[in-house]
Structure 1
Amino acid sequence: MRLRFRIPYFTTWGQRLEVRGSGSALGDWHPDRALRLTYHPGTNTWEGETELPAAEAAELRYKYVLVDDNGGAVTWEGGPDRTLSLAGETYATVVLDEFWHQPELPEYELQTNAFTQAIFRRPADSACHQPKKARSRAADATTRFSLSAPRIAPGQCLCVLGSDAALGAWDNQKPLLLSDATFPVWSADVVLADAEKPVIYKYGLYDAEKKQCIDLETGPDRVLPPFEGRDTLRWRHDELYRHPEGPWKGAGVALPVFALRSKQGLGVGEFPDIKLLVDWAVETGLQLVQVLPINDTTATHTWVDSYPYAAISVFALHPQYVNLDSIAKLQNEELQRELDETRELLNTRDFVDYQPVTEAKWKFLRALYKQEKPNFLADEEYQQFYQEQQSWLAPYAVFSGLRDRFRTVDFRQWPQEFQQPSAWLDALLDPKHAEFDEFGLHLFIQYHLDKQLREAVEYARQRGVVLKGDLPIGIYRHSVEAWTQPELYHLDQQAGAPPDDFSVTGQNWRFPTYNWEKMAEDGYQWWQQRMGHLSRYFDALRIDHILGFFRIWEIPNHAVEGLLGHFSPALPLHRDEIRARLGWWDWQRLTQPYIRWHILEELFGPDANAVREEFLDDAGHGSFRVKEFVNTQRKVEAVFEARLEFAEGDEEQRLLRQRTGLYRLLTEVLFVEAEGSNGEFWHPRITVDKSRTFRELDDHTRQRMQDLYVDFFFRRHDEFWRQQGLVKLPAVRYATDMLICGEDLGMVPASVPGVMRQLGMLGLNIQRMPSATGIEFSHPNDAAYLSVVSPSCHDMSTVRGWWEEDHERTQRFFEQLLGHYGQPAPYFAEPWVAREMTVQHLYSPAMWAIFPLQDLVALDPALRRQNPQDEQINVPANPEHFWKYRFHIPLEDLKQESAFNQQIKELVEQSGRGPVQ
């Protein structure tokens, strides 16, 4: 089969187009073997032909590439790889009539699974599903019209109406109907009556009941140039149906799975409860349900495991989310009574009582496993699940069993033979092995978790609701991944975040950082596998701290807080460059903690003298240095951990103040050393302008230091970090067809928004955390279309809680953002205030407006919680926060709140974000 590519594209002198793709016909992606196209001035098109071997006709993957021979620049078209299947086609020649994919067209995001699998999902009995007709060999040429158009309402089909008689000759009762058999791509084959003349046409909407084209797309007519040929398929790949009603917009609700409250749960949200939240979303016109990470975090079997971003596996689901009754009824009547009584007790609690909940789950899961084991192991669905998921499931099951056997998740403390998996792993998973049940329990639980979650996912899709997941940026230090593939991580480093509105000392997540160089060796297969697994459950995904793909905040292992970290990768300063910029270099003054007596008095008050005597040495000239046994934050932490164990009352508070003060002293530096540089290279300390050591520089040096700081953090790395993002993110973005949203809050490099736009990834806009500098609040009206707007998120207080935190700030917001100039702001966020903020977000130009459920019930005085402080999910400044939030209304009851639900539905529909009818 001859394959001819044809694409219109205007180039400048020295530029050319080529096609790079899979298979020998397109050079197996090698630039030197790519198919070079030739420019035809008469038609302003680039064309090229190649012979396609029959073995490669099943699937061809390719992209158009612009090459500049003058400077060597290479520009790839946007979007994922094009795919083409010609299996079964019997034409001698196939001509691909195509158009360049612009990288930033927002309409492409409507082709992701969020829309094709849920929001615009086609009914199984679609009248548009036309069987493909066998072609006539006598025909000179066949034209195949093909268009990706997900945004077509149920009951409607796509059609082509045009000047040729085969396209109805503009008679709206005789259009060419397109089939949705390969939705979101619509297509139909036709033999044009007069292919030797230009054909003028447009795509339109066909009503199956009225049997006519009821509307045409906007914009100019499309033109199909004349064509001559025999035994040829001319495949016209058109671009984007032009909808007259403008960009699509939707609204959604956010709530962690653990916070779902139902009458069927066991003191915590469970996967079947997602169906209840979906039902409520449908009732209120919302089309998306967003959750936090749902992976297994069972490390200690205590409340510490409540932190959902510290998963022991990036694939396994958390056992707390399984619904016991959906597995089987307990045959032991006494155990069943105990389960019923436990459910009644735990469901009365206003929070997730994590440890009793998990203890109960594990007790009854063990009983169910023992009861169901024979049937479970013989279940063909389980056997298929195990075969498909074995690559992660097998090591996870063994890891979990060994964690419980040795009573620690730290595999470095296990016996030597188990510290790294080997051939014995598969032997332990043989059902005939004497120790199998230690590990088989975890296979049993994961099978049922997967089954229950996928049922909830399909339930949501059938109702046009998107389930949006959350991808943590890091992995847990004591996880299956660190156990099986330690070479992919820097286990001697810690990941976190620099200081921001969440935490003035930065965040230390204590996760290892990624070895990106190692990951790149196989094309980021680890990331692609991870994304592929998430797409099993989600059609949209929030990537936590997407800035980590550009650079991560890396903290040395000796630090507890984030202030002594630095960005990685980065371009640190050589000490000679620092000398040139400041005019001098003094290792002691610039890189060691700056400690003076008045600073000790400021930090420790009446304890200053005691601290000086116990922890400091005199360094002369009125300065001090910390003693060796407390010369890092981690050493300080260890010293005070022992002292705090039995301390109470005033003594405990005094020790905590001393520990915090010593942490502060150790951060009083102007520069932190780049690892392994032997004092050659340095990073300016983050937020150095807020330090005491900076404050006590002379005016001249302080200004020079400030200029160096601004240049380092806001200019020096722009292009460097842009390239980092462009190398890593495409492998993640195009691994699946999920809609990708990036959490890009905090200290955002200038290059990040452009890269995200180029890759079609949505950004996040939180009103009280503006990305623009020099403003206190952002307005939802200023958000880009490819973005999500939200009044709050799980890492901050709710709208009501924030309103009461700082009344001077609230007054400014009330006047500047809500427009009540000269009026006093109410002390509390009254329902009408919450309504105004909700409406403001709904009318944003952003693709999505997503609201925490707590912020929506704030509109109803009878439904919202009395104390807004009880609604906050996480406090990032507290690394030991207990994630225990639980919604206070059973979802079954919320669905019955007709007046409230109608209010939300009307607001959504009036803003143009309601479902397509």
Structure 2
Amino acid sequence: MKLTFRIRYRTVWGENLCVLLNDDETQIISLSTRNGDEWQGSFEYIPVGSNQLVTYRYAVYRDNICIRKELGAISHLFYLGNAQQNHYVIDDCWRDLPADSYRYSSAFNSIYTPQSYNKLSDSVGSCITFRALCPELGNRNQALGLIGSCNALGSWEYCRPLRMQEVRPNVWHITLDASSLQLPFEYKFVAINAESGAVEEWESRPNRLFNVQPLQRGETYLPMETEVFFALPARKFAGSAIPVFSLRSEGSCGVGDFGDLKTFVSWAASTAQHVVQILPINDTSITGSWTDSYPYNSISIYAFHPMYIDLRQLPALADAQFASRFEEERARLNALSVVDYEAVNRLKQSYLKEVYRQEGENVLKSDEFNTFFADNRHWLQPYAAFSYLRDLYGTSDFHCWEAYNKYDEEEIQQLCSPESDAYTFIGYYYYMQYLLHVQLLAVAEYARRKGVILKGDIPIGISRTSVESWVEPYYFNMNGQAGAPPDAFSVNGQNWGFPTYNWEVMEKDNYLWWRRRFAKMAEYFTAYRIDHILGFFRIWEIPTHSVHGLLGQFVPSLPMSADEIRSFGLNFRPDFMLRPFISEYILNTVFGEQSDYVRETFVRPLHHDLYEMRPEFDTQRKVEAFFEGKTDSESIWLKEKLYALISDVLFVADRNNPELYHPRIAVQNDYIFKQLAEQEQEAFNHLYNHYYYQRHNEFWYHEAMKKLPVLTQSTPMLVCGEDLGMVPDCVSWVMNELQILSLEIQRMPKAIGREFGCLNEYPFRSVCTIGTHDMPTLRGWWEEDAALTERFYHNELHHWGEVPKHAPGWLCKEIIEQHLQSPSMLCVLAWQDWTSIDESLRNPDVQAERINVPANPHNYWQWRMHITLEELMQADELNDAIRQMIQSSDRNTAC
């Protein structure tokens, strides 16, 4: 059969417009043009197998390289017609993201049920296929219809429209017998009642006119796809953010689980909330200690943490004595105010192993498991083998394993074979991941039925000793550490310790690693948060010899040469500007009574009254090693001061070219900066502002646009970005272009010169919140800085008189109501902030509600709800207040 594509698209000399055929873009069809504006091309198409669906996108190539491609998760598509149809003539227009593309996401649409496409009978000789995009009709019990001036289109009679078919979520088609249509004719798209078929709403635009040359037998004509708009109100929702591990119920096992998450979804829906946001739930079992409680350092981007299995959904234990001992310990752990991570996981693992001995063999033979295994084998098998070997050798650092320390797919398949001696142990990890999949999928389906958006979290980094680092090391740079530059969370920056990504390698397979990761998330979630979205523009990479983040540099970036530095009026002196500045005055001022000890132990004379670090202490890691095991306050204080001494440099050499340089971040408060003359300080500040706020905008924009369109449009999930910190202008350019929701926090304003953000100015495409898991709760923040709180009380809330020392319930409620009234599409508040309005119910211990302290690299993630979910469901006064606030803010429309 023949396909003819026709499209108008303005190009410049040297550019060529192509059609990328099928979702995997296996065929590239070049079009031709006479004027650089009107493009056309025909070719013979042979369907693959029995596939009757043709999908395609348009792309622009220059020198055989794709430089631009249509955006959006929805590709152009059409179905092949009856047996007579042998030529498809397709008129198109270039299509990027649909207007209000969030409406097309799975967060805003009911579960879509695929249907076979209705073909016309083989007796029909020529056809016309109308194609349209129109979201959310299913939520209103409607379908898209076509009505027009000729009899075949109902002659404008509201009871006779033609009903279109939803061939993909929000994509509507109808194929008509061309001979039944009297040309020319006028028509409109209409919203019709899904049951009666009558018109309920008309397009609010002039009639469309259809007039083409008569079609030949065997031809199917497809006019341009149309975006259809009806008078849809803005969709705004409210919801709660809470880690799964923090959930507490009467039957949980000292930690929240997927059964508790389902109950929490019920509570949210009962209070008119339509969003539940959680932290990452991936397996973090690295050391077997409490340090594994950090949810952003997983050993697998696919596998879930076994502690989230709801044991209540498993068969009862046959061993009565074991069951009795378990119940006693479960009750003890569940009564604790915080998560005892180590004890909880020991207990749950013992229970799971006992159930596995009872039930595992039958489960692993079931059809349901075999389907799960077939769909997930590419990650499940390496994960199970990794977990077995981690347990066998007592470490997740695969470099230390006696065998299998380098991944070999064939060897691992043999290890995982049912005939292998290790299969019983490996099957245990298959079994656990299957249970987690089944339970989380049940929560996801339940949330959809309740009209609740389940929002997941995708961490920016992976562990150095993870399955991915073992299996696919070529995707990562192991000689650097990912982190964040200094911000309100941490004055020394954050060092997460993760390897950075080798984007050049990832680009070669069109970011397959990421697309698989997002696809797995989409099985369960209808929205997700991209942790540290700035990492897709550039990542703050810290050398492995550093502990703090101050000596890092952005990757990729554009370093400066010595001549360029001098062009800013700064005399570049490598011997002074690239090494720590250490003087007698600094030693005496910083170290006081310890200064002589520092002179004798850590530094040595250089010249005059200047010093340098001794070679055995010239990096922060070397200093860290010296103080290992010393936990007294004096040792910790001295270690931190030495770290600061080492980072007191004006420039950092580029990681790839030591002849190029980066100005050190946040150096203006350090001693070396104060050694500069006033004119030199002004020159440095000019250079610094240019480098960090102007130099990279276009460069980083293009870096992000290589990756984010591919990733964000690979699934139908609603995309939210965590865009906090040192945010360059190009971030908002990309997020607006790709319609990614931003994160807005009043106490972290994005406008320069403001102390607090203006809620009324938040963009619609945003998530507003009072604080994140990295920040104190509303009540905690209120008590942190009395002067700041006073300014907020008087200048933002416009109250008079004495400021309450502790935030009373009425004040918390007022702040929440203001956030609910903001223009933001989503208002997602920490559960602790919701409960703050009820003084009789909220946690009396304000500080106990803090989840994470980013400045503390050894934070124990163990916060739990102080009441049970059963008590929460019965808290009528609180629940009524939440419901009333949400309804008053027009955020109670179901998804």
- TM-score with structure 1 setting the length: 0.91
One-letter amino acid of the counterpart of residue 475, structure 2: L
Q: Distance in 2 between matches of 1:667 and 1:133?
A: 70
Q: Which residue of 1 aligns with 2:584?
A: 597
- 1:199 to 2:192 alignment: no
Picking from 101, 111, 118, the partner of 1:132 is 118
- Judged with a 3 Å threshold, the aligned counterparts in structure 2 of structure 1 residues 46 and 218 are, in CA distance, closer, same or farther, namely farther
Q: What secondary structure is seen at the aligned counterpart in 2 of 1:914? A: coil
State the partner residue of 2:106.
113
The 3-state SS of whatever aligns with 1:280 is helix
Say whether the 8 Å CA contact 2:132–2:228 is kept in structure 1: no
Aligned pairs for 1:446-595 (under 5 A) are 446-595=433-582
How far off its partner does 1:886 sit? 1.0
Cα distance change, pair 572–212 in 1 and its aligned pair in 2 (3 A): same
Alignment partners' CA distance in 1, 2:166 and 2:618: 68
Q: 2:661 aligns with which of 665, 668, 682?
A: 682
Report the Cα distance in structure 1 between the residues aligned to 2:101 and 2:34, rounded to whole angstroms.
28
Q: Do the aligned partners of residues 436 and 135 (structure 1) sit closer, same or farther apart at CA in structure 2, a change above 3 Å counting?
A: closer
Structural RMSD (CA): 2.8
Looking at structure 2, the residues matched to 439 and 161 of structure 1 have their Cα atoms a distance apart, in angstroms, of 60
Q: Could you list the per-position Cα deviations for residues 294-346 of structure 1 after superposition, in whole angstroms to 9, with x for gaps in the alignment?
A: 11001111110000011011111101101223232110001111222222111
CA distance in 1, matches of 2:92, 2:281: 42
C-alpha distance 210-911 of structure 1, shift in aligned 2 (>3 A): farther
- 8 Å contact from structure 1 (residues 296, 313) kept in 2: yes
Check 1:851–1:735 CA distance in 2 against 1; reply closer, same or farther (3 A cut): same
Distance 1:192 1:377 in 2: 55
Which letter does structure 2 place at the counterpart of 1:700? Q
CA distance in 1, matches of 2:744, 2:371: 42
Aligned to 1:723: 702
**Does structure 2 conserve the Cα–Cα contact (< 8 Å) formed by 1:166 and 1:192?**
no
CA–CA distance in 2 between the matches of 1:267 and 1:665? Answer: 44
Paired letter, 1:615: F
1:178 is the counterpart of 2:164: yes
Tell whether the 8 Å contact from 1:146 to 1:188 is kept in structure 2 after alignment: no
3-state SS, counterpart of residue 269 of structure 1: coil
Instruction: Give 5+ residue unaligned stretches, structure 1.
Output: 645-651
Change (3 A) 1:208 1:497: closer
Aligned length: 891
- Secondary structure of the residue aligned to 2:861 is coil
Aligned residue type for 2:680: T
Answer yes or no: is 1:895 the counterpart of 2:873.
yes
Q: Per-residue deviation at 1:291? A: 0.9
* Whole-Å separation in 2 of the counterparts to 1:94 and 1:419: 52
In the alignment, does 2:208 pair up with 1:214? no
The 1:290/1:185 distance shift into structure 2, 3 A limit, reads: same
- How many angstroms does 1:774 deviate by? 1.8
Residue 709 of structure 1: CA displacement?
0.7
Q: CA deviation at 1:45?
A: 7.4
- Who is 1:18 aligned against? 17
| 2:2 is aligned with 1:2 | yes
Change (3 A) 1:237 1:864: farther
Alignment partner, residue 729 of structure 2: 750
Change (3 A) 1:657 1:23: closer
Q: Return closer, same or farther for 1:59/1:691 CA change in 2, 3 Å cut-off.
A: farther
Are residues 383 and 697 of structure 1, via their aligned partners in 2, closer, same or farther at CA, if it must alter by over 3 Å? same
| 1:677-734 deviation per Cα after TM superposition (whole angstroms, max 9, x unaligned) | 3x41111100111212112211011111111111111111111111111112223223
Amino acid at match of 2:2: R
Aligned to 2:55: 61
**Aligned match of 2:634 in 644, 647, 654?**
654
Report what 2:776 is aligned to. Answer: 797
497-506 or 49-58: which moved more? 49-58
**Contact 1:27 / 1:35 at 8 angstroms: preserved in 2?**
no
Q: Deviations over 1:406-461 (max 9, x none)?
A: 11111122215545445332222233333333322212211111111111111112
1:773 and 1:557 map into 2 onto residues whose CA distance is 33
Whether the 8 Å contact between 1:350 and 1:888 is mirrored in structure 2 is yes
Give the distance between the partners of 2:125 and 2:53, measured in 1 at CA: 26
Question: Does residue 807 of structure 1 match 2:807?
Answer: no
What are the superposed Cα offsets for residues 456-509 of structure 1, whole Å, 9 maximum, x if unpaired? 111112222221111111110111111122222111211100000110100000
What's the CA shift for 1:18? 3.4
Q: Please report how far the alpha carbon of residue 108 of structure 1 lies from its aligned counterpart in structure 2 after TM superposition.
A: 1.8
**Match runs of 1:257-268 below 5 Å:** 257-268=244-255
1:97-136: per-residue Cα shift (whole Å, max 9, x none)? 4443244x542222122223xxx33689xxxx89836347
Unaligned runs of 5+ in 2: none
Find the partner of 1:281 among 227, 244, 268.
268
Q: Is this contact kept in 2: 1:401–1:438, CA < 8 A?
A: yes
Cα displacement string for residues 184-242 of structure 1 (whole angstroms, at most 9, x for unaligned residues): 22333345788454433333332356653222233444443445224443334543332
Whether 1:36 and 2:29 are equivalent positions in the alignment is no
Range moving further from structure 2, 83-92 or 131-140: 131-140
Range with bigger deviation, 312-321 or 856-865: 856-865
Q: Distance in 1 between matches of 2:255 and 2:173?
A: 47
Q: Which amino acid aligns with 2:535?
A: G
Distance 1:139 1:898, change over 3 A: farther
Distance 1:106 1:58 in 2: 29
In the TM superposition, 1:801-840 aligns within 5 A as: 801-818=780-797, 820=798, 822-840=800-818
1:848 aligned residue: 826
Q: Aligned partner of 1:530: which letter?
A: R
Indicate the residue corresponding to 1:649 in structure 2: none
Shift of residue 735, structure 1, vs aligned partner:
2.4
Structure 1 equivalent of residue 152 of structure 2: 166
Structure-1 residue corresponding to 2:748: 769
Instruction: Deviation per CA, 1:257-293: give whole Å up to 9, x if none.
Output: 1111122210111112221111112112222211111
Equivalent pair of 1:107/1:240 in contact (CA under 8 Å) = no
- 5 Å matches for 1:262-411? 262-411=249-398
Deviation, 1:16, is 8.5
Question: Residue 660 and residue 373 in structure 1: after superposition, are their counterparts in 2 closer, same or farther (change >3 A)?
Answer: same
For 1:864 and 1:236, how far apart are their aligned partners in 2?
A: 60
Partner secondary structure for residue 285 of structure 1: coil
Q: Structure 1 residues 130 and 432 mapped into 2: Cα distance closer, same or farther (>3 Å)? A: closer
1:377–1:92 CA distance, 2 compared to 1 (3 A): closer
CA contact (8 A) 1:146 1:236 kept: no
Question: In the alignment, what sits opposite 2:760?
Answer: 781
SS of equivalent to 2:498: strand
CA contact (8 A) 1:38 1:47 kept: no
**1:245 to 1:521, Cα distance in 2 relative to 1, 3 A:** closer
Give distance in 2, aligned partners of 1:76 and 1:431. Answer: 46
Q: Secondary structure at the match of 1:511?
A: coil
| Equivalence for 2:854 | 876
Cα separation, 1, equivalents of 2:77 and 2:99:
23
Q: Give the counterpart letter for 1:363 in structure 2.
A: S
Would you say the 8 A contact 2:70–2:95 is kept in 1? yes
**Correspondent of 2:679 among 700, 707, 711:** 700
Query: Is 1:143–1:192's contact at 8 Å kept on the other side of the alignment?
Result: no
Native 8 Å contact 1:196 1:228 kept in 2: no
Residue 659 of structure 1, CA deviation: 0.7
Q: State the Cα distance separating 1:826 from its structure 2 match.
A: 3.0
CA–CA separation in structure 1 for the residues paired with 2:112 and 2:273: 19
**Identity of counterpart residues, as a percentage?**
37
Other structure's SS at 2:57 match: strand
Deviations 1:864-903 (A, max 9, x none): 2112221111110000000001122222322222332232
**Residues 583 and 108 of structure 1: CA distance in aligned 2, closer, same or farther (over 3 Å):** closer
Give the Cα separation in 1 of the matches to 2:729 and 2:609: 43
